[in-house]
Amino acid sequence: MTRADRTHDDAPPRDAAARRDATAFAPSRRAFLRGLAAGGGFVLAFGLGDRVLAHALSADASDTPFEPNAFLRIASDGTITLFAKHDEMGQGIHTGLAIEVAEELEAAVADIDVRPAPADRAFDHSLYGVQATGGSTSTWTSFDQMRTVGATARVMLVAAAAARWGLAPGDCVARDGRVERRDGTAALTYGELATDAARLPVPEDVPLKAPERFRKIGRPTPRVDSPAKVRGTALFSYDQRRPGMLTAMVERAPTFGGSVARVDDTAALAIPGVRRVVVVPSGVAVVADGFWAARRGRAALRVEWADGPGAQLDSARLRREYTRRAGFPGNVVRADGDFDAAAADADRVLEATYEVPYMAHAPMEPLSCMVELHEDGGAHLVTGSQFLGIDHPAAAAALGVDPSRVTVENSYLGGGFGRRANPAADFTVEAIHVARAVRDLGVPVKTVWTREDDLRGGWYRPLWVNGITAAVKDGRLVGWRHRIVGQSIATGTAFEGAMVIDGVDGTSVEGAADMPHGIPNVRVELHTMKLAVPVQWWRSVGHSNTAFAKEAFLDECAEACGKDGYAFRRELLAGHERLLAVLDRAAEAAGWGGPLPVGVGHGISVHESFEGFAAHVVEASVVDGRPKVHRVVCAIDCGQVVNPDQVVSQMQGAAIFALSAAVDAQITFTDGRVDQSNFDDFPILRMHEAPPVEVHIVDTGGKQGGIGEVGVPGVAPALCAALHGATGRRIRRLPIGDQLG
Amino acid sequence: MSTTFTVDGRTVTVTSPPDTPLLWVLRDELGLTGTKFGCGRALCGACTLHVDGEAVRACVHPVGYAAGKDVRTIATLEESAEGRAVVDAWIATEVVQCGWCQPGQCMSAASLLARKPTPDDEDIDAAMSGNLCRCGTYTRIRAAIHEAARALDGEADG
Amino acid sequence: MRTIRRAVPLRPLAVALVAAGVGLLAACTPGTHDEPAAARASSASVVQTPAEGFAVVARVLRHPRCLNCHPAGDRPRVGDDARLHAMEVQRGPANHGVDALRCDACHRDANQPLAELPGAPHWSLAPRSMGWEGLDDHALAAALRDPATNGGRSLDDVLRHVTEDPLVLWGWDPGPGRSPVPVPHDAFVDALRTWIEGGAPSPEPGIVTTF
């Protein structure tokens, strides 16, 4: 071991073994491939096999860039490029990954040019084994891997400098993008060392800094994407253009599962700029010179549809049926003790039905995907996706070619919230079908979605109804039965095998089946409904339902036990240190127990999701029959924080996102048709409705966990508890809408 | 039929029919993608830009109306004092998450500050409630507008 | 209490608006709109007395196409159900919205059918002095007569205004997603003329004539 290395290895890495298991990242000599790529690019790849990376950039051989792995590239002009394995959809992960790398590389985060990685197995999710961004896992599953990327490169750059100076590596030190002689007599920039470093062997088992030595991780770091996004120069999928590119818009069946019976495209084709009208599996595509011609052309289509199985969908009927089911036993997911006996012996039995609606993700940037077909049957796609690992093989399958013939380039994502992680690669495959249908035109085709397409296109958070029964004895909660009724997200997808066990989709019961509260008799049951509505993970997935039902009903139980919601939860969560820590912090910061203005109520919640722990206090009142949120205070424990300001930002945004879903937004069906169409009838919070959101980060020294979704589940129940405090009325169905009017 | 106007200081003549929304003329005909699309019905504000100094929604602004006018997009927002203050404050306050709505937010904010240099929270509510942010950055947008106002005030004093 | 066609006692604003909305739903559902409108047209076109004329005028002025932008407060309403305009839209200092969110940020001088966005020249709120929301027929008649509450107009000017003003005329051509005023425009003008020529008398207090 060199001295330079030792400077990073004075203390043993915290939890290193545990984290390595969790991330399944164990770099081996075999997995580190080094070589001079075509054109001179130096490539060191983790687990790449012998494939040439899609993004390997050609360079002058005499000017060899240093590419110590698939993620990192250092050019001789000093440019440092990081190919981000996780997609930037607002959560700040490009910055987070850069911080992790920079910490070990000893370079400034601001000097790293972070680009979205293309589809390639090198960028597989460390836990999921497929290239994906979701589940609030990006930071903690990449933490060791990205630090190793930085550390490996640093060691090689130091070695290159040492060789140049004829010194031992230990006589050199890496600092701020340069390698310096320890005697202070000389320094070389990473750019100046890149070509030399590219020729060096790759070290193994490079030690990582102990957390006490972190200089970047854990400190607020400006986002790397802010300036370009604010100035409008950042490229999103919708912004992608190519010479000759056409724009396509698809008219989809008005009911799920419907199909085209007859098309009259006469009027559509008469619109200037409309080139083609083609039938594709998902509907009728209008291919035109640009968005507006496509939009006008689509409006002029006359399509007769054959109804599909979704034609009978009716929200009122669905809700009745779901509620009826909640009255009957379901598939038993958890059975601690004997709930029935506890209920029979109870002083009091409480029952309630809680309900959340279908919900659209509605990212601000609507979906799009551009396809350039190659003559060999392959294609190049430019998209905005959380799921390149699913899209890539799906695109190849749709084209009938080997995935090696298909390349997929990602963009910034104008919001995702789960929608862009489609298990069926819906918008990707559709774009392939459209492009193939007009292959003879020989130009790239970008298939774009409108807001109406987005809201009516399915893949919603499922409608869920919860029947919950609690047994109270001697002022204590002794029994809890939670019946969940809803569709399975994972069934029928590639994830079914991993996620659906004994007929139970883990996402349907997460947050309920694993509730940690000290209740001796707990029973959790699931009714899985099969419907024509395509459903999908929506920021916080099952927790967006179960936490609402659980926490809101706990508030009813607290009242029945004559206890304050905070004290009640403290008792039930005894021994659960991280939950208690955030609960206490939120309560303290909000001044729980202190006086509130007349007419204002407060509510509290605490919930674990995605290995993150969050507590919320909401203060709210009712004005003109509508909920008014005055303030949200939250606390989060996600373990070692990489960029605290972005944790705050995620929690702030999550609270607003959750409030939108709690207050007004929903997707409903009448006669099989989606009732909503745009932001007028799918209202999300606006500036004048947005409360201040105060965020407190708690670190109990526990394992790293999630952030992005963790801030969502607890908001709605805390709000409803606050409204109960303000009005005495219980809200058991979201959205609240006019229920208080 | 063509329409001539200036975009970000450059004179352009476009051939899109005059009822084509300015948004699609900019994005598809001129390749200026800084102005974003979010709803197509003036409900979200992502496409906000300035025509003769007034904030308008480009997705419902027929290009015919822009004839002879001065259209400003996010690309040259920083050429005005308010615009520069807004962009600086947006970056310093770390407003951005996904970023899709932010050019439109900045255009609205600059328009507000140009006429009301020290807006209070009510002014911000009234001016900015036409701009949606699905990521929920409102808290920081509000802070950034106040920050930009302070910076402009400092410049004026200086 | 007198009832002219469908009149309701003066109640809080919301009640009157609901009544207006219900009437509209009955009268203006797509496909059934023409017949009742024609029926009204014939009844309106044969108004004989100033009182009958004013009843037609009052109904028209209380139609959401007119009343939505003649609010008593500072928030316009939208749609056939006369809900508050989203986006916290405000009257502003010149009845044209506030800085950075003026009416013409979105509403230009013509409807935009694909966006279901209404538009007409000088799209704006009526001045606060011309807020009709909550007025009974008696007060509405007074408001129309008084230059202080009718935009400084003589009665002839009022007649010319409703005859020619493109923003008024928009009420009969509001584009998709909105019901047009269900009395033909010329019948409305005739009714107003009948009322004016008959001395523009005030109905008794306490009557709110709606569709």
* Segments of chain C scoring below 50 in pLDDT: 1-44
Q: Average the pLDDT over A55-68 and give the result.
A: 56
Same domain, B54 and B7: yes
CA distance B42 to chain A (A): 9
B76, B93, B127: which is the final residue of a domain? B76
Same domain, B67 and B86: no
> Which amino acid appears at position A724 of this protein?
H
pLDDT-wise least confident of A98-102, A655-659, C1-5: C1-5
Whole-number pLDDT of residue C45:
54
Q: Which residues of C touch A295 (CB under 8 A)?
A: 114
B68-114, pLDDT tens digit by residue? 999 999 999 999 999 999 999 999 999 999 999 999 999 999 999 99
State the total domains in chain B: 2
B16, B42, B76: which is the final residue of a domain? B76
How open is the CA angle A637-A543-B101, to the nearest 5 degrees?
80
Whole-number pLDDT of residue A146:
97
Same domain, B37 and B93: no
Whole-number pLDDT of residue A268:
98
Q: How high does pLDDT run on average in chain A?
A: 92
Is-contact A174 A214, C-beta < 8 A? no
In chain B, which residue ranges form alpha helices assigned H by DSSP?
A: 22-24, 81-92, 102-115, 121-128, 138-157
CA distance B68 to B74: 20
CA distance A358 to A486: 10
Same domain, B87 and B147: yes
- The DSSP secondary-structure symbol of A359 reads B
CA distance B132 to chain A (A): 6
C85-109, pLDDT tens digit by residue? 999 999 999 999 999 999 999 999 9
Same domain, B61 and B16: yes
- Residue A486: half-sphere exposure toward Cβ, Cα within 13 Å: 33
The tokens for A69 are 């792995």
Sign of the C-alpha dihedral, residues A416, A418, A421, A427? negative
- Interface contact flag, A687 B138, Cβ < 8 Å: yes
Instruction: Report the DSSP beta bridge partners of residue A460.
Output: A535
Tokens 């240093």, residue located: A66
A381-395, pLDDT tens digit by residue? 999 999 999 999 999
**Cβ-proximal residues to C67 (8 Å cutoff; 6+ apart), any chain:** C17, C20, C61, C77, C82, C132, C133
Residue A29, pLDDT above cutoff 80: no
CA distances for C60 relative to A150, A654, C50, C169, angstroms: 73, 46, 15, 12
| Predicted confidence band of residue A1 (pLDDT cuts 50, 70, 90) | very low
Q: Please determine, for the modelled complex, whether the ipTM score is greater than 0.95.
A: yes
Residue A401, pLDDT above cutoff 60: yes
Whole-number pLDDT of residue A63:
65
A591-637, pLDDT tens digit by residue? 999 999 999 999 999 999 999 999 999 999 999 999 999 999 999 99
- Interface contact flag, B42 C106, Cβ < 8 Å: yes
Same domain, B100 and B129: yes
Residue A524, pLDDT above cutoff 50: yes
| Predicted confidence band of residue A150 (pLDDT cuts 50, 70, 90) | very high
Q: What pairing do the DSSP bridges indicate for beta strands A274-280 and A259-264?
A: unpaired
Q: Which residues of B touch C125 (CB under 8 A)?
A: none
Which domains, from first to last, does chain A contain?
3-231 (3.30.365.10), 237-308+367-448 (3.30.365.10), 315-359+460-727 (3.30.365.10)
Residue A162, pLDDT above cutoff 80: yes
A242-254, pLDDT tens digit by residue? 999 999 999 999 9
Q: Which residues of C touch B127 (CB under 8 A)?
A: 98-101
Whole-number pLDDT of residue C29:
35
CATH number of the domain encompassing residue B61: 3.10.20.30
Of A656 and A21, more confident: A656
- Interface contact flag, C88 A686, Cβ < 8 Å: yes
Q: Average the pLDDT over A284-295 and give the result.
A: 98
Interface test with A, best of C88, C89, C106 (most A CBs within 10 A): C88
Same domain, B28 and B84: no
- Interface contact flag, A686 C86, Cβ < 8 Å: yes
Same domain, B84 and B46: no
B42, B76, B110: which is the final residue of a domain? B76
Same domain, B38 and B26: yes
CA distance A616 to A633: 6
CA distance C41 to chain A (A): 33
- Residue A456: half-sphere exposure toward Cβ, Cα within 13 Å: 21
Is-contact C194 C47, C-beta < 8 A? yes
CB of C108 within 8 Å of a chain B CB? The answer is yes
Same domain, B90 and B141: yes
Chain A: partners with 3+ C-beta pairs within 8 Å: B, C
Residue B42, pLDDT above cutoff 90: yes
**pLDDT > 90 in chain B, percent:** 96
Q: Average the pLDDT over A47-57 and give the result.
A: 31
Q: Which residues of C touch B60 (CB under 8 A)?
A: 106, 108, 112, 115, 117
> Which amino acid appears at position A194 of this protein?
A
Which positions 375-404 of A are in contact with B (Cβ < 8 Å)? none
CATH number of the domain encompassing residue B151: 1.10.150.120
Give residue A630's region: left, alpha or beta (phi > 0; psi -120 to 50).
alpha
Closest residue in C to B106 (Cα–Cα):
C100
Whole-number pLDDT of residue B90:
98
Same domain, B139 and B90: yes
Same domain, B36 and B92: no
CB of A296 within 8 Å of a chain C CB? The answer is yes
- Interface contact flag, B109 C99, Cβ < 8 Å: no
In A70-189, which residue ranges form alpha helices assigned H by DSSP?
A: 93-105, 138-165
CA distance A69 to A99: 17
Q: Which residues of B touch A657 (CB under 8 A)?
A: 134-136
Is-contact B25 B4, C-beta < 8 A? no
Whole-number pLDDT of residue B21:
98
The parent domain of residue B57 ranges over 3-76
- Interface contact flag, A688 C88, Cβ < 8 Å: yes
CA distance C10 to C205: 9
CA distance A123 to A583: 37
CB of A688 within 8 Å of a chain B CB? The answer is yes
CA distance C18 to C14: 6
